[in-house]
Structure 1
Amino acid sequence: MASYEKTSYDIWKGRTSDKKLYLHEKVRCIDLKKEELTRNQNIGFSILGYACEEGVKRNQGRIGTATAPDIIRKMMGSLSNHFKNDVDIIDIGNINCVDGDLEKTQSFTSDKIYQILEKEYFNIVLGGGHDLGYAHYNGIKKHLPTATIGIINLDAHFDLRVPNGKGNSGTPFYQIAKENDHFKYLCLGIQEEANNRILFETARELDVNFIKNTEFTMKHTDHIDKTLINFINTVDYVYLSIDLDGFSSAYAPGVSAPSPFGFSPSIALHTIEKICNSNKLISADIVELNPAYDVDNCTARLAARLIYYIMKYISTL
């Protein structure tokens, strides 16, 4: 099963002012059980929490990511607000996984994402495990049934494992590939040590584009930019997924699968800006924060800043 709950304003905290100088003063929380999300008339962002770790548990990862959405919100609340008055930021609450029913949670999440996109908001989903990717893609597909949707994933892992009876946080993009005639997938930051030979074979069979972590650096921006442009030109819309375990553990220790050889925030921001500037990005998520293993909330703070920059880039187009 899946359950829904409104986000408490108490989670959004920070310095107070009479001029909305801080992000928590700009965010509006609504209860989808009682309020209808109105159609966006200006520049609007929605924030949805996917408080689910069942997929990580099934994938034998370190559990703890179910608490991530609210921790990210807390880190976002104190950030300075430089957005224009006509930019709306609406928090529409959390989806929780009940009784380990990942499949119903994913279906429920897809429906909510579809509803948000139908109201013309740019959607940002806070994970939770990367099993969110399956739900997120299907919500976009329901909104754009005839469009070619390209997936760009900043990640150490392909997440192309074959489901063993049920899906998990390592299977979402394989599930998408097998259920759709057109599978367009670009993965940036792939670590050879974190993906076995079968996963590389699967990636080749599915014609997946990827750049390894050794090349996903600021020294290789020409190659990265060319790869991004070539990929984006082949799709109608882009869905961006950011897995925090793709970052070096120096920046992101609070994840289920940390690695010292991950990529840096600099190349991630460079890439995100390029994607946003394409005008094809329709929805984004950030996944795999595990607050139980974070240090001084530095991984949660990284997640908050990445979301801030996505909204900044989109709102200034």
Structure 2
Amino acid sequence: MDLKIFFSPLDADIFSHIKHSNSFYKSIKVNTEAMPDYEGADIAIIGIEEERGTVSNKGTGKGAMEIRKKLYQLKKGYGSYKIIDLGTLRNGIDLDETYGRLSEVCHILIENNVLPVVIGGSHDLSYGQYTAYENMDKLITLLNVDAYLDMEEGVSQPAHEQHIHKILLHEPNFLFNYSHLAYQSYLIDQTAINILEKLYFEAYRIGHLRSNMQDMEPIIRNADMLSFDITSIKSSDAPGNAKSQPFGLTGEEACQICWYAGLNEKLSSAGFYEYNPQHDDENKKTASVVATMIWYFIEGFYHRKNEQNFKNNDYLKFVVSMPSEPETLSFYKSKLSEKWWMEVPFPRGKEKYARNCIIPCSYSDYQKATNGDLPDRYITTHAKLI
């Protein structure tokens, strides 16, 4: 399909000052005079100017271009880049039409093994990113990084404060798991956390994440989709947001999450939302932080090791006897990366769960099993499978 009808090209003069042959800009194909062909690409950058979904953070529509200016000046990283920039997605007549356009574009790219990276706009656009998976005949896991839960209800609430609630209620339901990282307890309603727990979904506050970053890696490695709200980064590192907070992720922690996400072979789309240049400092510090996050995400992508075939000789299998049901637990350890996975058998007749039955875990999960205790990851995953 010709994606040209959805996009406006970028002004080449914006990047004309970038001369270094090893710059990021010189290593990719950008929609300036002609739309680059997405077939054969690895990653496609999509700029968004839609901001009708926010009330408190107007100005996010200008974020994509500022991020590009910082990103494209960086040096090319590892690997042979096959990256394109499709330009700016044209807004629809209303929000729902913009969601639909983003959904259709992302769906086409994902179906062609191209990973869309969405930049700019308000966080409610992640709904369009999510619905791209609707007709793919698979259940997916959504990873959301945000200081807020965005589970408000009611027509009076702005879209960017209720898009997660909208995703949870979306029909048909193809959401297998939802993982939320870096929420700040004093900004959210505890009843929303209770709802997530009843659905066997995961939510980790900023303090837990910071003290257990290595344990967050298996959660990030299990995601099909990443949605990153810049509000989750503390204001001293990323002031470019009307709701930025004095506490939150550091820029380094945000980059580490993006590195893990890039390495994740399951992950097939990423979005970076809520950057507002109007609230940034004169040097556009926040744009630099987001650009570096995207750079690390791409760096992780080009370091992927194709670790998905658990039957080959690149894995060690450990079978642990348990004192009660289940009688045994099976673990897999990669000889290449030393990462761990755990098998959670799915019920007969529910083959749609097959791709979710071997889940990322940590060495501590294996240790817990050897001590006769079921890992929490097993319990929550099993509850969703039955």
Q: Give the aligned partner of residue 240 of structure 1.
A: 226
Flag structure 1 segments of 5+ consecutive residues without an equivalent.
none
User: Counterpart of 2:19 in structure 1: which amino acid?
Assistant: T
- Between the two proteins, the alignment pairs up a number of residues equal to 297
Report if the CA contact (8 A) 1:245-1:259 is conserved.
Answer: yes
Name the CA distance, whole Å, in 1 between partners of 2:145 and 2:184.
11
Q: Give the aligned partner of residue 152 of structure 2.
A: 161
Q: Give the aligned partner of residue 294 of structure 1.
A: 280
**1:190 maps to 2:183:** yes
Name the CA distance, whole Å, in 2 between partners of 1:262 and 1:149.
27
1:56-97 deviation digits (Å, cap 9, x = unpaired) = 12xxx121100011111111121112344x422211011243
Name the CA distance, whole Å, in 2 between partners of 1:88 and 1:227.
27
User: Counterpart of 1:10 in structure 2: which amino acid?
Assistant: D
Q: Give the aligned partner of residue 371 of structure 2.
A: none
Q: Give the aligned partner of residue 50 of structure 2.
A: 52
1:31 Cα offset (Å): 7.0
Report if the CA contact (8 A) 1:216-1:267 is conserved.
Answer: no
Q: Secondary structure at the match of 1:134?
A: helix
Report if the CA contact (8 A) 1:14-1:22 is conserved.
Answer: no
Name the CA distance, whole Å, in 1 between partners of 2:295 and 2:204.
25
Q: Give the aligned partner of residue 293 of structure 2.
A: 306
**1:252 maps to 2:245:** no
Of residues 6, 14, 36 in structure 1, which corresponds to 2:9?
6
**1:124 maps to 2:117:** yes
Q: Give the aligned partner of residue 65 of structure 1.
A: 60
TM, length-normalised to structure 2? 0.71
Q: Give the aligned partner of residue 83 of structure 2.
A: 89
Residue range with higher mean Cα deviation, 178-187 or 126-135: 178-187
User: Counterpart of 1:6 in structure 2: which amino acid?
Assistant: P
**1:77 maps to 2:72:** yes
Residues 283 and 80 (structure 1 numbering): CA distance in 2 closer, same or farther, change over 3 Å? same
Q: Secondary structure at the match of 1:87?
A: coil
Q: Secondary structure at the match of 2:42?
A: strand
Name the CA distance, whole Å, in 2 between partners of 1:155 and 1:205.
20
Name the CA distance, whole Å, in 1 between partners of 2:250 and 2:195.
27
Over the aligned positions, Cα root-mean-square deviation in angstroms equals 2.4
Name the CA distance, whole Å, in 2 between partners of 1:97 and 1:69.
14
User: Counterpart of 2:69 in structure 1: which amino acid?
Assistant: K
1:40-61 deviation digits (Å, cap 9, x = unpaired) = 1xx621100121111112xxx1
1:117 Cα offset (Å): 1.9
Report if the CA contact (8 A) 1:37-1:119 is conserved.
Answer: no
Residues 196 and 13 (structure 1 numbering): CA distance in 2 closer, same or farther, change over 3 Å? farther
1:163 Cα offset (Å): 4.3
Q: Give the aligned partner of residue 315 of structure 1.
A: 302
Report if the CA contact (8 A) 2:261-2:300 is conserved.
Answer: no
Q: Give the aligned partner of residue 320 of structure 2.
A: none
Name the CA distance, whole Å, in 2 between partners of 1:156 and 1:47.
25
Q: Give the aligned partner of residue 284 of structure 1.
A: 270
Report if the CA contact (8 A) 2:147-2:231 is conserved.
Answer: yes
TM, length-normalised to structure 1? 0.85
Report if the CA contact (8 A) 2:262-2:296 is conserved.
Answer: no
Residues 222 and 120 (structure 1 numbering): CA distance in 2 closer, same or farther, change over 3 Å? closer
Q: Secondary structure at the match of 1:56?
A: coil
Flag structure 2 segments of 5+ consecutive residues without an equivalent.
305-386
Q: Give the aligned partner of residue 164 of structure 2.
A: 173
User: Counterpart of 1:307 in structure 2: which amino acid?
Assistant: I
Q: Secondary structure at the match of 2:186?
A: helix
Q: Give the aligned partner of residue 331 of structure 2.
A: none
1:36 Cα offset (Å): 7.2
Q: Secondary structure at the match of 1:214?
A: helix
Residues 210 and 14 (structure 1 numbering): CA distance in 2 closer, same or farther, change over 3 Å? farther
Of residues 237, 249, 253 in structure 2, which corresponds to 1:263?
249
Q: Give the aligned partner of residue 259 of structure 2.
A: 273
Q: Secondary structure at the match of 2:209?
A: coil
Report if the CA contact (8 A) 1:131-1:172 is conserved.
Answer: yes
